[in-house]
Each structure stands twice: as C-alpha cells, then as structure tokens.
Chain A
C-alpha cells in the first residue's frame, strides 16, 4: 500500500515563526501536492511538484513556499506564520502515469496563535 506520512498531526506555532511541514511518500511517486482545507472552502491547492527541484504554484501560494530536494519528500514552508494560516494541511502524491489517483496523508492541523 502507498503510504504518505506527514511530520505532525497537530502543531501550534506563534505568529511570525517559520514553520516547516514535512511530507514523505514511499512509492517513488513523481508528483506531490500541498493543500489546505478550511470549513466552507473545501480543499485548495497551494503548491505542487512534478519532479525533484521543480515546483508550481497552485491556487493560493501567497505566504507559502515549498522545497523538493529528494523525490520522496515535499516540504511546505510558512516563512512568517500568520493567524490566517491556521488550517488543516494535506499532502498528496501520485505517479506520473496513473495520475488519476492522488494518495493523501492524514493531515496536519496547524494553529497559529
């Protein structure tokens, strides 16, 4: 089974802190994604990556950056956390060929105070 893991289930950070959310997948997938999920807004795509060192902006990239130094790992970075970044963050991965199925991690609930 494909496994996508995220570094933390729950995280509490202070305003202005630099925050790293880590995502690791174990199936050699080319594509990885970061979403945030908020009540009433559904899942929104922040950034995605098709390959190592490649990144593309999603629908809401402002306030975020990403890093993909290794194929299995995709990091989401909040350079200076703000309270409006309090949310559930979900990572997903998929192969380049059978790309209809995205495999999701369990999510990280981030609270910025």
Chain B
C-alpha cells in the first residue's frame, strides 16, 4: 500500500537547488522517512533518512515538517548527474520492508 505521494516528474536548472516534495500524512510515530534515488540502468542508492529532525549529509538535506506529514529533499546545487528517479519511503527502522512506489523523475536541465 502506498504510504507516500510524490509528483511524477520535475525539472531543475543545473546549479540551482532541487526541492523534491513528499506527502506522508499517515506516517506513524515510529516510522522514519527515507530517500533513495535510481539513476538509469542502476539499482537504487540510499540518500538520507530522518525521524523528525532535519538532516543533512554530503548528498542532500531532508526537511521534515513539524507534524511529520510531509518532507522535502533538497539537492543544494543540482548537476546533470542528479538526473534520476527519487523515491520517498516511510518505514520503521526495523523490518526493512520498504515500499518504493514510482517516485519522482527529476531532470536536471543544462
């Protein structure tokens, strides 16, 4: 069952910030938000995850709203290599049963 809603596709200009939204209005208290991406012809790759605080790593930032019903993945300076399908997933930290859905296809435009 789908637990997240994401736009089907987005464009972003190279060098600009890419902001990818995700709605997860039915998230429960012990569920984390995970983001993965899949570049064409490769397996998905982990980007970042969080519970309720904002998170940042070398790849991206994750902003989670206070009510935890939505989040935004931010790629601060998008490059052509960031063109990929981005998946927002909610799941408990244990169990590992991820529902990937269809994600958002991000195209970075030169």
Contacts and interface: CB of A to CB of B under 8 A. Distances in A.
B98 to A, nearest CB: 7
B93 A99 contact: yes
Contacts of B49: 100
- Chain B contact residues: over half helix, strand or loop, or mixed? loop
Given A31-B96, A94-B96, A101 B46 contact: yes
A33 B96 CA distance: 9
B96 A40 contact: no
B42 A106 contact: yes
Contact of A43 (B42, B44, B45, B96): B44
Contacts of A99: 93-94, 96
Task: Bin chain A's interface residue count.
Answer: 20 to 34
A105 B102 contact: no
A104 B45 contact: yes
Contact of B43 (A40, A42, A44, A107): A107
Contacts of A35: 100
Interface of A: 4, 31, 33, 35, 40-45, 48, 58-59, 90, 92, 94, 99-107
Interface of B: 32, 34, 36, 41-46, 49, 87, 93-94, 96-103
